[in-house]
A and B are shown apart, each in its own frame.
Chain A
């Protein structure tokens, strides 16, 4: 017997016992109709070859292990960033179960969101009744200050009109006429979660600025000195937004964070469940029209939102998930230029410390090859940082990256001698990445949790940066933006490099001459 009460073995150990190993071998031999192990091995080797890569890259319709999710997830992510706001997804309920689980698995936090629970009858007759009842129920049960509506693919395919539905629901008394119900159409078959973030955020801002779906006069812009800040879809929102607030305060900038979900994804355990916590106040969302400028940290998360804001008379500026020295310099100098505030000594010191740290450590990173995958802005930010560390971001892959993103990435590579042999891969997935890693190996891989399969198959060590990170805890609390954030990313990369060196030199009496204690 393998199990024992004194030292309970769970699955990690239990199934390695001889009884279980024998049982599994019997099952395979007798009942699974398994392929000959030699044949499995032959195909496994073939799947590593340039020939297989060619086949793999010739794929036109099949997607395997994509690094993207669908629009409504991004809409929910943006919506919970407003004060006491309940995201309401118009469509079938299973989707909402998935969004809530997905976000909870990453942040280890509750995610509150409802749906209109559309089923076959709604597919035939439309979901108006579901909207009328659903808004009334949500409003009564969860006492939100705002309900932000988005859609699933189902509601989009049958063509439900949110504007009209919400208007009718108000007439039917589901929620008071003045109650804020902004909306966005977020079909899952267009773009990805970053598109959904963009659409939902634009929908909310538009609601407040452009007369609340025709029920009030449009707001007149009365310019002030404030800066609006948009973080974009970001797995590090908890650490990043807080870091940005600190920087703004150090610089003495008056600001509004739009879709500030940093608190709702980080509520304390103290005996109380807070369904809503923090968030951009509805007043601030409305007043944001008066700001001098809006800064987006992620261009590809705000492709529609920024032009909308700009059309209301503000200056807008977009970054690409800035990580490292130059990207943070650029961010701070832009802030300084827009606001007229100088960059304080404290931040200059932080900059010097990051440069110091990079100088101390860059010898270990210089010339190393990296593969990166993730959302388009994150990929850009990380590649830029690697280039300034003297590393080569050899394969940069973004399933939701576009042709324009590819060109921008290639321009970044062209700007550095370390980018000479680097390539961007838009619209590709992690099975493409597998072929890249086998045929053009790199030293390290950077990406989300799903990269662990690539690490296992190709032996390329994985540095977990991205979304989702399900299998490591609390990374989202540490910023990756600003000089402090750059320091966190640097340490994460270095730790993995040193762990790998130790792992490769720890054989006693054989390789351990390099098992150094000083580096």
Chain B
């Protein structure tokens, strides 16, 4: 049982406030003042979590954040499987993001599908000096020659592109014309833009609007007959197959998923999306922009949903169904009822092993709030959370629907703060990313990577929840955590003892 759950809310709040004061002491004055705005203790009833967000990270601290390129190529565009995404610039960005998000897809890689490949213009010094547009022209020609079945190309700009003033838009237009209107999308997602990967999501969404939607051909429009039940999944990247374990539920309730964004997605699906009757949005942060655009331009309503854990899944299925007729509403009830026995069995098996355990989260996108319900379904409590690149509207949603009174909130947490918080609070589990994983495991704290599902998954949907529950049990109750202290040293810290 964690320290957190043995204290009253008032005690927890006092402790958390003191913790924030303590970590701020280490910074130079100016930095402490800036960081103070990003740390808070949640007060129940407030409309947001009381922290500033989406501001520039402070130089010299160990931020967990990435860049606009990571947001565009790594998150939004990369999973579109039948297009070739050029990492335009030096070799590194493409290399480090190669296959690392685990966006699952089906297709013949290298022939009609390119998701786990690294295409780069591999800039050399001469390209910086003389500009890279000519190189880009040739890169596109060579792609066309070697990969005739690619449906399109995107140009994902790395830092130097914007700095040296290359005109990738002109190249895209000219090459598209030359190749019979082939979709070629320039994306200005240079890593120095914005304060995190968040701007990259927005830029990528805008590129879909300007270079896909605005150029849809009549041929693309006629690919299938519409039905009243057509929906599009927006903001699911199919990590470990998440979008598949979500899609199956929507189809079982009688809807037809005409597009997936962007995990296991294809250009045809992007083009078909304006025909959807409803866009259902999982990762609000990365894809609210394009959802709002489709609402304004095509009149397509959108709704957010959360497919982590049976409580939120049931709520979400009903919410989605509410946009449709009784057939779909009945379908939602049928799906909820169908999976109830599975959920009962999963909870019966794992809840006794996880009840009362505390969790601290620090992740990106929707996860700092969306997974809270799944932990609660297992009797666990999230005692601290924060967003890598959230905006104020994320913190509003978190405050209004997810976190409890007294929860410690840390926006764009620095490595130093996160380590001190975990050290003092001693949660039973930390959920964050690869850069944090080994830090906390060295400290003897069980950990799960909540970006990549620690190479497991899916975690979305009913099928995914069974895996989620198993994985959390596996992490927290692994016998290894009893062995972190040598037996000839002090006894293990009681808070880290596994449940028997």
Contact = CB atoms under 8 A, between A and B. Distances in A.
Interface in A124-138: 130-131, 133-138
B67 A95 contact: yes
B125 A187 contact: yes
A255 to B, nearest CB: 29
A157 B163 contact: yes
Nearest to B347: A5
A113 B92 CA distance: 17
Interface string A430-471: 010010000000000000001001000100000000000000
Which bucket holds chain B's interface residue count?
35 or more
Contacts, number: 346
Interface stretch (A102-110, A211-219, A347-355, A370-378): A102-110
Contacts of B499: none
Interface stretch (B12-20, B52-60, B207-215): B52-60
Nearest to B259: A31
Interface residues of A, number: 109
A4 to B, nearest CB: 7
A190 B240 contact: no
A333 interface: no
A499 to B, nearest CB: 23
A453 B116 contact: yes
Interface in B42-90: 56-70, 82, 89-90
B476 to A, nearest CB: 16
A115 B59 contact: yes
Contacts of B440: 273
A222 interface: no
Contacts of A119: 56, 192-195
Contacts of A267: 442
Contacts of A27: 247, 257, 260, 264
A424 B281 CA distance: 51
B26 A98 contact: no
B149 interface: yes
Given A44-B108, A157-B163, A56 B146 contact: yes
Contacts of A450: 98
A269 B118 contact: no
Interface string B92-117: 11011110100010101111100011
A62 B419 CA distance: 43
Given A136-B60, A141-B416, A189-B124, A94 B434 contact: no
Nearest to B463: A3
B427 interface: no
Interface stretch (B134-142, B292-300, B305-313): B134-142
Contacts of A271: 442-444, 484-485, 493
B486 interface: yes
A98 B437 contact: no
A187 B158 CA distance: 13
A62 to B, nearest CB: 4
**Most chain B CB atoms below 10 A, which of A9, A28, A69, A431:** A69
Contact of B135 (A61, A95, A141, A153): A61
Contact of A140 (B27, B59, B98): B27
A298 interface: no
Contacts of B469: 8
Given A70-B92, A94-B197, 16 more contacts: A14-B241, A19-B248, A32-B266, A33-B266, A63-B91, A92-B159, A93-B57, A114-B62, A118-B59, A119-B192, A119-B194, A133-B60, A141-B27, A142-B416, A153-B160, A189-B127
23 contacts: A8-B470, A14-B467, A19-B248, A20-B248, A24-B106, A31-B224, A31-B272, A32-B82, A33-B266, A35-B112, A62-B138, A64-B118, A65-B117, A69-B91, A88-B60, A92-B192, A93-B66, A97-B64, A98-B66, A100-B435, A133-B59, A157-B159, A269-B441
Interface of A: 1-6, 8-11, 14-15, 19-20, 23-24, 27-28, 30-35, 39-40, 43-44, 47, 52, 55-56, 59-66, 68-70, 72-73, 88, 91-95, 97-102, 104-105, 108-120, 122-123, 130-131, 133-142, 152-154, 157-158, 187-190, 192, 267-274, 431, 434, 450, 453, 457
